[in-house]
Amino acid sequence: MGPLTRICGLLGLLLALMTTACTPNLGGENVGWAPVSASFSQVAGEATRVFVVSPMGSDLGDLGVLQGQDLGDDERRVKVRALEDFGSGSPRVVWTYPPLGSGIGLEGAFGPPAVSEELGLVFVGGVDGQLYALNAETGEETQGWKRAVRNDPSVEPQPIVGAPVLAELVNSETGPSTILLVVSEDGNLYAFNAATGEELSWSPFRTGDKIWSTPLVQNGVAYFGSHDHFVYAVDLRDGNQVWRYETGGAVVARPLLMAGKLIIGSFDRKLYALDADDGELEWAFESQNWFWAESVTDGETIFAASMDGYVYALSPQNPPSGEPKEALWRHNMLSPIVSAPALVPLGLVVAAVDGKMRLLSTSPSNLVDGEVISNLPTLEDGEIKAPLVVGAPPNPSLGTELDSLSVIQRYSVFVTGDNGIVRRISVTEGQDKESIWCFDSSIHRQCN
């Protein structure tokens, strides 16, 4: 009896370990967060082109999109989709990359695609370490662009987590040009000529660890963070380091520039305000968890979201000497916030990982918990981690003047769930804050 019991126990142990090992989400696929970007070049009449990198639905073949073709495992991964959005009704899929039925897919993507309206190109950085340069109209790969960012075939490409970034660079010898910045888990910042794909002579710029932080470019200087705890400022003309500042943890957030201050959060639970010129610390604000999301500003207040579930409103001014930085107000979303909030004329749109979305007032408030203008439609069955995209190009004079963009573009946000659900949500004054449309990109169907 004794030995048998022991044997049964050990067998149970083995069985349990096997079961655990086979649990699908453990160390499973790295499909990303279904990031979305929008292009407002009005390529077809009043349409906006929306680019989303989202997973394939397992029943896509059954729904007749592929005339009942059986999709292979490789097809069932991630695709880049271009949607044409007329602002109402369901958007239309213009193209898919790799094409449906091709039997291949991307491994995944975390950063939103970079769209160059001038070049007509869409750049996607993949978890597979490849950079995809696609024709915005057709979705075809651009000839001449190398896929691997690292110019060494003997080295396995490392995942690209931060978003590719386009920037204008004025060179005294060659004149203005558009460059593309790509950060990699190999710890390097790469710079390419966006039109030709040629790598700049100084590229790459090396840091001490992985880079997930999407760079911010201002006046030819790229600001970004690294897992090595440093925030870097790099001159894009020569690739030289302007300054670097050491925080207490990994820096994965995208920085924000405001009135000469670089605002960036770290995994040491602090949000730093650094002098953009020399990297000197102005102030630091501490929360209860990491800062992952990019902060936003309306020009007067900084809105920073933390993984502790709070959105903090902070004044950019330095606190009185010796006193800790305090928040003007904070609002609890009761779920961590990874997705960068979006500013619209009515207020601040915040999305938490659990799919809840709220429109908060950005006006000075006496309420310590902030002021909720409206709860927005939640994203069920999916988690929101990709940055929110405002339904119009970012504009510092947002809400103060109208240009040719339609109202619906100004007063809406795009949000995606990691399951591939894309929503465009209206945040127009005086109207119900509801979905303008909902599209399940994984199965190419309208959703509720």
Partner 1 sequence: MEFFFLLWNEVIIRPMLNTLMVLYVLCFNNMGLAIIAFTILVRLVTLPLTLKQVRQMRRMGELQPRMKEIQERYSGDRARVSQETMKLYRESGVSPIGCLGPLVVQLPILIGLFRVLIQTLFTKPEDLVDLSQKLYPWITFVPIHSAAPLSDTFLWLKLGEPDPSPIVLPILVAATTFVQQKMTMTPSPDPRQQSSQNMMLWMIPIFLGFFSLQWPSGLPLYWIVSNVIGVGIQYFITGWGPLFPLIPRSAPAASRPTQSAVDDTASEENENDGIRRTNRQNRRRGRRTGAEGARRRPQRGRGRSAK
Give the residues lining the site for partner 1 (CB under 8 A): 1-7, 9-10, 12-14, 16-18, 20-21, 26-27, 30, 33, 110, 161, 210, 212, 227, 229, 248-250, 252, 267-269, 288-290, 292, 307-308, 336, 338, 353, 385
**In contact, 212 and 227? CB cutoff 8 Å:** yes
- Report the nearest approach of partner 1 to the CB of residue 268 (Å): 4
- Report the nearest approach of partner 1 to the CB of residue 134 (Å): 23
- Report the nearest approach of partner 1 to the CB of residue 33 (Å): 7
- Report the nearest approach of partner 1 to the CB of residue 376 (Å): 21
**In contact, 300 and 314? CB cutoff 8 Å:** no
- Report the nearest approach of partner 1 to the CB of residue 346 (Å): 28
- Report the nearest approach of partner 1 to the CB of residue 19 (Å): 9
Question: Which of 138, 113, 160 is closest to 386 using CA atoms?
Answer: 113
- 18 or 397: CB nearest partner 1: 18
- Report the nearest approach of partner 1 to the CB of residue 130 (Å): 17
- 190 or 212: CB nearest partner 1: 212
Question: Which of 360, 340, 357 is closest to 293 using CA atoms?
Answer: 340
Report the alpha-carbon distance of residue 397 to residue 224 in Å, rounded.
26
Residue 77, classified by CB atoms within 10 Å of its CB into exposed (0-12), middle (13-18) or buried (19+), is buried
Structure tokens at 434: 């509801």
Report the alpha-carbon distance of residue 383 to residue 92 in Å, rounded.
24
**In contact, 388 and 349? CB cutoff 8 Å:** yes
- 134 or 386: CB nearest partner 1: 386
- Report the nearest approach of partner 1 to the CB of residue 13 (Å): 6
- Report the nearest approach of partner 1 to the CB of residue 249 (Å): 4
- Report the nearest approach of partner 1 to the CB of residue 290 (Å): 5
Q: Phi and psi dihedrals of 421, rounded to 5?
A: -75, 125
Question: Which of 83, 67, 86 is closest to 34 using CA atoms?
Answer: 83
What DSSP string runs through 385-422?
Answer: -SPPEESS---TTTTT---SS-HHHHTEEEEE-TTSEE
- Report the nearest approach of partner 1 to the CB of residue 273 (Å): 19
- 117 or 354: CB nearest partner 1: 354
Structure tokens at 355: 């799919």
Measured in Å, how far apart are the chain's first and last C-alpha atoms?
59
Report the alpha-carbon distance of residue 57 to residue 188 in Å, rounded.
34
Looking at residue 401, its amino acid is E
Report the alpha-carbon distance of residue 373 to residue 362 in Å, rounded.
10
Report the alpha-carbon distance of residue 100 to residue 285 in Å, rounded.
48
- 179 or 231: CB nearest partner 1: 231
- 100 or 293: CB nearest partner 1: 293
- 22 or 404: CB nearest partner 1: 22
Question: Which of 112, 206, 105, 231 is closest to 150 using CA atoms?
Answer: 206
- 338 or 357: CB nearest partner 1: 338
**In contact, 256 and 296? CB cutoff 8 Å:** yes
- 81 or 227: CB nearest partner 1: 227
Only one residue has tokens 């558009």, namely 178
Report the alpha-carbon distance of residue 98 to residue 404 in Å, rounded.
34
- 20 or 67: CB nearest partner 1: 20
- 9 or 99: CB nearest partner 1: 9
- Cα 271 versus chain centre, distance: 19
